[in-house]
């Protein structure tokens, strides 16, 4: 199988079309799995100009990677819902829980500064996890990264982060469409 190595992690290469069926197979098998979307420029991404989707088979300790394009890979939204519930991207499901979360406070500062950022949700076995063995969320900005570990799956914090992230993405996509329409 073709592989690619980056940042000390060896990935088995798959295609974007393989991602959803692979995730469904892993989910049905009942073992642990999780996924990531990696932005162009993300420190974990071997492909500097393209998005990538990572599917980790936690039981077999295999990290699969699919190289995407310059467009956000929509399959990520399906994968995130499989992992964290159908309302994980839903602003109307925000509870205000996690209001005392240091990571959310720091992220709100970053967001207020208009700095580009993205995040990673780390399952305990994640190859990218800055807090191995714990659940954690990391935020990357052009000037560095910050993260917080949690004793259990931080669903409410993640939902707040995802809603902010996809709000930014939608705003960027609509700006791009408008500037395209003007040309």
In the bound state with Zn ion, the residue whose beta carbon lies nearer, of 56 and 76, is 56
Token digits of residue 74: 């929509």
> How many chain residues touch Zn ion (CB under 5 A)?
4
Query: Can residue 42 be called a binding residue for Zn ion (CB under 5 A)?
Result: yes
In the bound state with Zn ion, the residue whose beta carbon lies nearer, of 67 and 140, is 140
Query: Can residue 148 be called a binding residue for Zn ion (CB under 5 A)?
Result: no
Cα–Cα distance measured from residue 70 to residue 87, given in angstroms and rounded to the nearest whole number? 26
Work out the number of other CB atoms within 10 angstroms of the CB of residue 109: 9
Q: Which residues contact 42 (CB under 8 A, 6 or more apart)?
A: 118, 140
Cα–Cα distance measured from residue 111 to residue 131, given in angstroms and rounded to the nearest whole number? 24
In the bound state with Zn ion, the residue whose beta carbon lies nearer, of 140 and 162, is 140
Cβ atoms of 171 and 112 closer than 8 Å? no
Q: Can you tell me which of 33, 56, 66, 75 binds Zn ion, judged by CB under 5 A?
A: 56
Q: Which stretch binds Zn ion (CB under 5 A): 19-27, 83-91, 93-101, 118-126?
A: 118-126
Question: Minimum distance from CB of 55 to Zn ion (Å)?
Answer: 9
Query: Can residue 126 be called a binding residue for Zn ion (CB under 5 A)?
Result: yes
Which residues 75-114 are close enough to bind Zn ion by CB under 5 A? Answer: none
Number of helices and strands (H, E) in the chain?
Answer: 4, 8
Token digits of residue 4: 């690619």
Token digits of residue 127: 């190859």
Q: Where are the alpha helices (DSSP H) in 14-101?
A: 16-29, 75-84
Question: Minimum distance from CB of 2 to Zn ion (Å)?
Answer: 20
In the bound state with Zn ion, the residue whose beta carbon lies nearer, of 126 and 160, is 126
In the bound state with Zn ion, the residue whose beta carbon lies nearer, of 56 and 162, is 56
Query: Can residue 140 be called a binding residue for Zn ion (CB under 5 A)?
Result: yes
Residues that bind Zn ion (CB under 5 A): 42, 56, 126, 140
């Amino acid at each position: 199988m073709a592989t690619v190595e980056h940042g000390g992690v060896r990935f088995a290469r798959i295609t974007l079309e393989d991602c959803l069926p692979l995730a469904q197979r892993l989910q049905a098998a009942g073992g642990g799995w999780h996924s990531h979307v990696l932005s162009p420029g993300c420190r974990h991404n071997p492909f500097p100009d393209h998005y990538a989707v990572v599917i980790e088979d936690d039981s077999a300790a295999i990290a699969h990677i699919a190289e995407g394009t310059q467009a956000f890979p929509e399959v990520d939204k399906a994968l995130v819902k499989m992992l964290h519930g159908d309302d994980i991207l839903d602003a109307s499901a925000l509870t205000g829980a996690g209001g005392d979360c240091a990571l959310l406070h720091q992220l709100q500062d970053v967001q207020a500064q208009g700095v580009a950022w993205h995040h990673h949700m780390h399952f305990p076995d994640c190859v990218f996890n800055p807090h191995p063995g714990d659940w954690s969320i990391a935020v990357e900005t052009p000037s560095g990264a910050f993260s917080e570990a949690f004793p259990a799956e931080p669903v409410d914090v993640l939902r707040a982060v995802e809603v902010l992230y996809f709000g930014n993405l939608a705003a960027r996509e609509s700006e791009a469409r408008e500037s395209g329409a003007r040309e």
